[in-house]
Structure 1
Amino acid sequence: MIRVEAGMPTARFCRLVGVPERTWRRHQARARQDTQARGSWPRPARARVRDAARRHALEHPA
């Protein structure tokens, strides 16, 4: 949306952000199709530390 609101060409936006234009266009095509970019596999690292992080956060509310 930022690129569109600024009236910036896709090629220039990709150069500024540092993303290959082909990659940008592929992600945009997937977004238009409303499909997931990646699989829906579990996130074991997040699940493994969730309880420890929650305990720590409750002990240190700052």
Structure 2
Amino acid sequence: MAKEKKEPPREDGVVLTEEQAKRRRARNIAIAAVLGFLVVLFYVVTIVKLGPNVLNRPL
């Protein structure tokens, strides 16, 4: 016999207004864009520091 798990009653929690949801989405997109820019920047800086000959190595 499997025991059933009783879930506690759900609470609504924090309900955002439409304006707050839009601001949160805009902030998340801005954070993602900055993070993506930093990843690309670190990649480019790494390639520049290694020099152009790193691509001319024998495989």
Q: TM-score range, shorter-chain basis? A: 0.3 to 0.5
What TM-score, normalized by structure 1, do the two folds share?
Answer: 0.31
Largest Rg, 1 or 2: 2
